[in-house]
A and B are shown apart, each in its own frame.
Chain A
């Protein structure tokens, strides 16, 4: 079983609030990712990182930001939550060796009211 953790698992928050979704992995993986997934839909990449101090935007336009100060930690922040941010957020990591088999966390289900 992959050692990648996300907190909180569920979050209900009001519009305009600032939130940070936490993701940590203990596998020493260089590459980490954030995906957004709506029910019955494919995963959409919103951010990724090749390693410490590296952050990149994914294919899906997002109003969130990420940071990578430590290898094991890759938090995602929404400065001002909106109802359109309601979704499942999945964090993943992989070894940076060419073939990116990804190991996913359990996800954070976010509801913005």
Chain B
């Protein structure tokens, strides 16, 4: 069964304390992996698309990486405004209509 699993479910960090969020996936073939940020009561905001193993993308304090089985979202020296839920989603090859979302990681950065 195709799955996207994110860990941890929740993470509390001190401001400046770097860490990583994990997204592991099981699909028959990967077309693309997406990271989104979601603030409470709002729709997800697109961050990155990764297409193939070894690819990396960066945006401010965030860096996303991809292997054949998982993706990491690295957060370097986070600030309180980075607090949000981070969602991972996978688009399966040859199933353009099927995008599977994980449950997300709730990140809280303490000042």
Compute how far the CA of A48 lies from the CA of B95 in the bound complex, rounded to whole angstroms: 14
Asked if A74 lies at the interface with its beta carbon under 8 angstroms from chain B, I say no
- Give the residue name and chain of the B residue nearest to A33 (CB): B99
- Give the residue name and chain of the B residue nearest to A10 (CB): B41
Q: Which residues of B contact A48 (CB under 8 A)?
A: 97
Docked-complex contact B101 and A99, CB < 8 angstroms = no
Interface residues on A, range: 20 to 34
What's the count of A-B pairs with C-beta under 8 Å?
59
Task: For the complex formed, measure the closest distance between the CB of B106 and the CB atoms of chain A, giving whole angstroms.
Answer: 8
Q: Which one of A4, A42, A104 contacts B104 once the chains associate, using CB atoms below 8 Å?
A: A42
Q: Which one of B41, B42, B49, B103 contacts A42 once the chains associate, using CB atoms below 8 Å?
A: B103
- Which of A43, A48, A56, A92 has the most chain B CB atoms closer than 10 A to its own CB? A43
Which secondary structure dominates chain B's binding surface? strand
Q: Which residues of A contact B44 (CB under 8 A)?
A: 43, 90, 102, 104
Task: Show 22 residue pairs from A and B whose CB-CB distance is below 8 angstroms, ordered by the A residue.
Answer: A6-B43, A41-B103, A42-B102, A42-B103, A42-B104, A43-B87, A43-B89, A45-B99, A56-B97, A59-B98, A90-B43, A92-B43, A99-B32, A99-B49, A100-B91, A101-B46, A102-B89, A102-B99, A104-B46, A107-B41, A107-B42, A107-B43
Question: Which A positions have Cβ atoms within 8 angstroms of B?
Answer: 2, 4, 6, 40-43, 45, 48, 56, 59, 90-92, 98-107, 109
